[in-house]
Structure 1
Amino acid sequence: HMATARDDCGASLPYEMIIEVLQWLPVKSVFRFKAVCRSWAALLSSDEFRRLHMSAAKAAKRRAPPAKLLYISPTATFDSTAVYSCSFSPSSSSGCPRDHGDLLFTIDGARGNYVEVVTPAPCHGLTLLYDALDTAYYICNAATRAATRLPPSTSVACSSSAGLGFDALTDEHKVVRLMNGMFYQKDLDSVRCEVYTPGGPFMDRCWRPAARGVPSSLHKFARAAVRNASVNKLSPVFANGCLHWLMRPSSFITTPSVAIVSFSVAEETFTCLRSPPFWVPGTPPTSRNWSSGEQL
């Protein structure tokens, strides 16, 4: 197939150069490029190209820098927090890092025993930290070794949960805070959401209400999500442009048909989702349950 495709592929570029470029593309792009022309479809569907693509993927994986862990620790005086990074290479039995890692930066005034990493994984290079003692959020960039304290929120809440997302349309990060109202407030069932955009316009450098707010029809689900996040220390997960909160089933008399509260970072709208299928021990895993990486 590759020999057949050679005659028609890219008259303005050498055939070998086209192959060199295409073999490094991600799987989704390869599938899209099959629609360019029949010769490309034949080329990208050939067994030889599959082997080249797999070899390139393995080579890229070998060259990729090793993953690192980000962790925090109180300083000797306990009046500030040190942020470290270390290679993910635990010893054989203890599971402890081989060394203490590299000191990235220190956050003065943030007491280490009360500071926690909110985001389970970096979001486009940034990580969200929370100082429970001072009720303050920090955004840090491990690559540039910089940390920025977010301005305080004027909203008072009984409980809240925050997450960090990325708006691909505006190329901006957003910190999203979902809150349950205080018990003494007249609107006992009030559920609010506020957003902070780091590095945004001057008027947007403070917490503001989410553009669409929380629909009243979703208040009970949002409350259950905040309770679950607060009680079980479960931060929302950012995926596919949305932040996802898992609800607390015990918040309902009967099990609801939905299990996840989802917030679109770009549109600033809420919706609810069903729980994804789970693999149960004792049953054979399907291709939808397990994936060892992209392949053609």
Structure 2
Amino acid sequence: MNSSCLGRKPRTMATSLSLPKNTITDILSRLPVKSLTRFKSVSKNWAHLTSTPAFVAAHLRRSSPNPSLLIRRYHTQSGWDCEMLITNPTQNYGTQLLRIPLEESLPRFPKIVGSVDGLVCLDVSPCYASDFVLWNPGTKQFKRLPFPLISSSRSNPIWLVFLGFGFDSFNNDYKLVRIVSFRGNDASSSLRVEVYSWREGVWKEINESFKLGLLCGGQDGVVVDGSLNWAAIGLQSFADRKVLISFDMGREVFKTIPLPPVTRYGNVKVMSYMGSLAIAVYPLVFAANGNNINRFEFWVMSDREDGVKDWTKMVVVENFSKSLVPMGTWRDRELVIKHMGGRDRENQPSLLLFDPVDEGTKRLSVDCVEFCLQGYSYVESLVPVHGRS
């Protein structure tokens, strides 16, 4: 008699086959996050397996080679009318609108601080970059972080805040770095630095600081080889030139990196390219001294024959003004560029992928807007937002 007629549940295929655990792990690690999330409610064994650090790491390794592009698109300078979009230029599913499952008490349109291993760090504060959320769009998990230690006061008001979010491979930790600049009474500024640890779930202020540069506003830190990097205006021995301020997330120390002289008269966008530090130099919006550059340059830090690291110029695009604005890199080897005033659509910006090697371009099927300034590589992952403490 059929077992189903007696009210017995038929055995599942996985139980009947008795597949080795390694085989099951290998199969599951190839599946998308959405499928794995469903399986968690079907099998307790699979729910446990797919939550282990080893499985999360194996799944991430398979997902990382084919990232999507996460875009924050907005129509006004305030950014209060923005949207989160995700697309993948190698696939044909087009552009998807991401819904952010945040609490109603949070601002509706947060800013992206960084996207690493499937975790997206959002700044949801109205000012002073003082309220943050970790969000995994794949699993739809999010966590409101504790408030930072350093705050503004009437006697010591905050002037500017600089942020960076990245992975510290030395300590197997994700870290959010917050650099707070205070305006002094003598028009000088002082800095304090604090770091949030994903593993520990707490903020800590660090004494290590830098004295050789003033960070440039408008850009968050870019992760390259375990360090966060910001463009800065040099001081002291680096006076009258631009430099990079680099923060080693493992050792939690700063250092200053000189930039090519051409950066003096152009905007500098810090980027990652093929695992190396890179910069894009492009025209300033305003140049009071008339020394504005009229070309786009892309430089990559590489090793010379004597082992010393130095800047190598890869690309120069000349004879234009204020038309190519770099946003970041996708797959760590193609530049995401906002093209202003394209010929096909008068005064309508568009998003391009630019390959620095063959200088080929590909237009993305994303409707661009004037203030679309954020773009990040994004991979689906099972990395939890709550850390491992």
Trace 1:58-73 onto structure 2 (pairs within 5 A). Answer: 67-71=68-72
1:245 aligned to which of 230, 237, 260: 230
Are 1:174 and 2:166 matched, yes or no? Answer: no
Q: Which letter maps to 2:141?
A: A
- SS, match of residue 193 in structure 1: strand
Over 3 Å counting, the alpha-carbon distance change for 1:72 and 1:89 in structure 2 is: same
For residues 14-57 of structure 1, what are the alpha-carbon distances to aligned partners after superposition, in whole Å with 9 as ceiling and x for unaligned? Answer: xxxxxxxxxxxxxxxxxxxxxxxxxxxxxxxxxxxxxxxxxxxx
Q: Secondary structure at the match of 2:211?
A: helix
Instruction: Output the CA distance in 2 between the equivalents of 1:83 and 1:177.
Output: 25
Higher strand share: 2
Whether the 8 Å contact between 1:158 and 1:183 is mirrored in structure 2 is no
Higher helix share: 1
What whole-Å deviation, never above 9, does each CA across 1:127-163 have from its counterpart, x for those lacking one?
2111231631111112221121211123133211111
Code of the aligned partner of 2:145: L
Q: Tell me the equivalent position of 2:211.
A: 219
Amino acid at match of 1:132: S
SS of the residue 2:149 aligns to: coil
1:234 aligns to what?
Answer: 219
Q: Is the 1:139–1:148 contact (alpha carbons within 8 Å) kept by the matching residues of 2?
A: yes
Q: Which residue of 1 aligns with 2:4?
A: none
Match of 1:261 in 2: 245
Q: 1:154 to 1:102 in 2, by over 3 A?
A: closer
How large is the RMSD of aligned CA atoms in angstroms? Answer: 4.0
Aligned-partner Cα distance in 2 for 1:112–1:251: 43
Provide the secondary structure at the position in 2 that maps to 1:166: strand
- In structure 1, the gaps of 5 or more residues are 1-60, 74-79, 91-96, 284-288
Q: Given the alignment of the two structures, is residue 158 of structure 1 paired with residue 159 of structure 2, yes or no?
A: yes
- Give the equivalent residue in structure 2 for 1:105: 101
CA distance in 1 between counterparts of 2:314 and 2:121 reads 31
Q: Alpha carbons of 1:136 and 1:111: their partners in 2 closer, same or farther (altered >3 Å)?
A: same
Superimposed CA distance per residue, residues 38-84 of structure 1 (whole angstroms, 9 cap, x where no aligned partner): xxxxxxxxxxxxxxxxxxxxxxx9xx6562435478xxxxxx99975
CA contact (8 A) 2:212 2:238 kept: no
| 1:138/1:150 contact within 8 Å kept | yes
Look up the equivalent residue of 1:142 and give its one-letter code: P
The letter of the residue matching 1:130 is D
Does structure 1 conserve the Cα–Cα contact (< 8 Å) formed by 2:211 and 2:235? no
Q: CA deviation at 1:169?
A: 2.0
Q: Summarize deviations over 1:71-108 as a string: whole Å, max 9, x none.
A: 478xxxxxx99975533469xxxxxx955535352343
* Secondary structure of 1:260's aligned partner: strand
Query: Alpha carbons of 1:65 and 1:173: their partners in 2 closer, same or farther (altered >3 Å)?
Result: closer
1:162–1:251 CA distance, 2 compared to 1 (3 A):
farther
Match of 2:113 in 1: 118
| Matching residue of 2:18 | none
Secondary structure in 1 matching 2:223: strand
Equivalent position amino acid for 2:244 in 1: I
Conserved? CA contact 1:66–1:87, under 8 Å: no
Change in CA separation of 1:219 and 1:101 when aligned onto 2, cut-off 3 Å: same
Query: In the alignment, is the contact (CA less than 8 A) between 1:82 and 1:106 conserved in 2?
Result: no
Structure possessing the higher relative contact order (Cα contacts under 8 Å, 6 or more residues apart): 2
Number of the residue aligned with 1:34: none
Tell me which amino acid in the other structure corresponds to 2:121: L
2:205 is the alignment partner of 1:209: yes
1:281 aligns with 2:332: no
Q: What is the SS of the residue equivalent to 2:220?
A: coil
Percent identity over paired residues:
17
Query: In the TM superposition, what is the alpha-carbon distance from 1:269 to its structure 2 partner?
Result: 0.5
Q: Is the 8 A contact 2:163 2:179 kept in 1?
A: yes
CA contact (8 A) 2:314 2:356 kept: no
TM (norm. structure 1) is 0.54
For residue 288 of structure 2, what is the aligned residue in structure 1? none
Which of residues 123, 132, 140 in structure 1 aligns to 2:135? 140
Counterpart-to-counterpart distance in 1, 2:121 and 2:252: 19
Other structure's SS at 2:116 match: coil
Aligned residues: 194
Q: TM-score, normalised by structure 2?
A: 0.42
Structure-2 separation of matches of 1:250 and 1:116:
30
* Contact 2:87-2:96 within 8 A present in 1 as well: no
| Native 8 Å contact 1:191 1:219 kept in 2 | no
8 Å CA contact 2:83–2:97 kept in 1: the answer is no
Which consecutive unaligned segments of at least 5 residues does structure 2 have? 1-61, 75-79, 153-157, 260-310, 319-354, 359-389
